[in-house]
Amino acid sequence: MAKQQKSYKVRFLGSKQGLLFLLFAALIWVISALSEKYTAVVPVHVEIENDATAVILLEKQLHVDASMSASGFSILYRRLFPRKLVLFTDELPALDLDKPLLSTQYLANSYRQQFPSRNDLNGFVDNTILLPLTAAVVKSFTPALAAPPAFAEGYQLTSPMQFNLNQVTASGGKENLKRLDTAIFKLLSDDSIKEDFVLKAVLLDSIAALARWNTTEIEVRGTVDRYSDVSFMLPITITNAPNTMDIELTSTSVALKFAAPLSSLKTINAQDFRAEVVYEQTTTGQFPVVISGLPDNAKQIVITPPTVSYLISE
């Protein structure tokens, strides 16, 4: 009889009904076990919102271990899906920004304020946490363009470009700002330019990401004209020569060539220019030729020859 009962149990446990019975019993045990109250360590997801101007947020999120007393179901759920605790930098207590340690008692109080219906928090594992904050440093930069505007063939600027802002300001971590020497902007348009322009330019993404800027967009203005080549032959004069010396130049004239706006060509005359060399003792035996009278908007200036040799007789 005992052998028959044992054989029946083996057959039952090996059957589908037996397997279902074991699974149901295991499920009942798991539910019963998870319904019990436990104390365990679970992560809390801390998210920091920076609403203060005196600090820079190095990271926005961190995880802090907390001790909680709750059912097994709650413990398991909170390990899979941690609660999110939001902190605002403007509401934090006074911190040493060289080493911003925050008491986890502040975290516990914030947790209970944000989740008033929950009384499962015992406290946090560590007494303090190091916040990813640093003191903000402010630095000003002169705007610069990554590349100049594209001009149509024969067209050039008649005067230096101007920005609507002489300076832009960045607020950020000291180490990041040390790496920055200038604020580089990129023009949004690459069309060929034939007339006066006002273009928008944006700060390069790689630079914008290093700090918080008062602006990431500027305007660039410029006056443009079509340029044409102008050339003159000019006599060379000597200045500052001692009266006791007879100085003879090997070349008595130079060729001056430059580009000028079409709108100003009618007003340009050879009499406007002066080519001269200034006497001084040299070791090269040559004087550089200096041209005076060039218009401010002259481009591509070429002087031939740029220097002249001389002979001295006393």
Is the pTM for the entire model greater than 0.85?
Answer: no
Question: Do the beta carbons of residue 63 and residue 44 sit within 8 Å?
Answer: yes
Task: Please report, for the chain, the start and end positions of each structural domain, with discontinuous segments joined by +.
Answer: 33-133, 137-222, 227-313
- State the pLDDT confidence band at 21, using cuts at 50, 70 and 90: low
Provide CB contacts within 8 A for 173, sequence distance 6+: 56, 58, 134, 136, 137, 211
Half-sphere exposure (Cβ direction) of 45: Cα atoms closer than 13 Å: 9
Pick from 17-21, 27-31, 234-238 the range whose average pLDDT is largest.
Answer: 234-238
Say what the pLDDT of residue 26 is.
65
Class (C level, CATH) for 227-313: mainly beta
- Per-residue model confidence as pLDDT tens digits over 101-112: 999 999 999 998
pLDDT of 136 above 60: yes
- Helix/strand/coil for 208: helix
pLDDT of 4 above 60: no
Q: Specify the residue for token string 């591509």.
A: 300
CATH number of 137-222: 2.170.120.40
Q: pLDDT averaged over the chain?
A: 85
- State the pLDDT confidence band at 196, using cuts at 50, 70 and 90: very high
Number of H helices, E strands in the chain: 6, 25
pLDDT of 74 above 70: yes
* Section 35-46 average pLDDT: 85
The type of residue at 249 is L
Chain centroid, CA 51 distance in Å: 20
Residue 217 CA to residue 208 CA, distance in Å, equals: 11
Say what the pLDDT of residue 14 is.
56
**What proportion of the chain, given as a percentage, has pLDDT over 70?**
89
- Per-residue model confidence as pLDDT tens digits over 137-167: 888 999 999 999 999 988 999 889 999 999 9
Say what the pLDDT of residue 245 is.
80
For the ranges 176-180, 215-219, 272-276, which has the lowest average pLDDT? 176-180
pLDDT of 11 above 60: no
- CB atoms near residue 216 (< 10 Å): 16
Outline where the chain has alpha helix (H).
2-13, 16-35, 72-80, 104-114, 174-178, 205-208
**Token duo for residue 79:** 């390990």
- CB atoms near residue 124 (< 10 Å): 21
* Section 41-53 average pLDDT: 87
* Section 48-65 average pLDDT: 84
Angle between the N-to-C axes of helices 72-80 and 16-35, in degrees from 0 to 180, rounded to the nearest 10: 90
* Section 189-204 average pLDDT: 93
Say what the pLDDT of residue 7 is.
55
Name which of 146, 153, 120 is nearest 199 in CA terms.
146
The type of residue at 79 is R
Residue 239 CA to residue 276 CA, distance in Å, equals: 7
Better pLDDT: 264 or 14: 264
Residue 238 CA to residue 251 CA, distance in Å, equals: 12
Provide CB contacts within 8 A for 64, sequence distance 6+: 43, 44, 46, 104, 107, 124, 125, 126, 129
Question: Do the beta carbons of residue 63 and residue 46 sit within 8 Å?
Answer: yes
Better pLDDT: 177 or 6: 177
Say what the pLDDT of residue 264 is.
86
- State the pLDDT confidence band at 22, using cuts at 50, 70 and 90: low
Angle between the N-to-C axes of helices 2-13 and 16-35, in degrees from 0 to 180, rounded to the nearest 10: 70
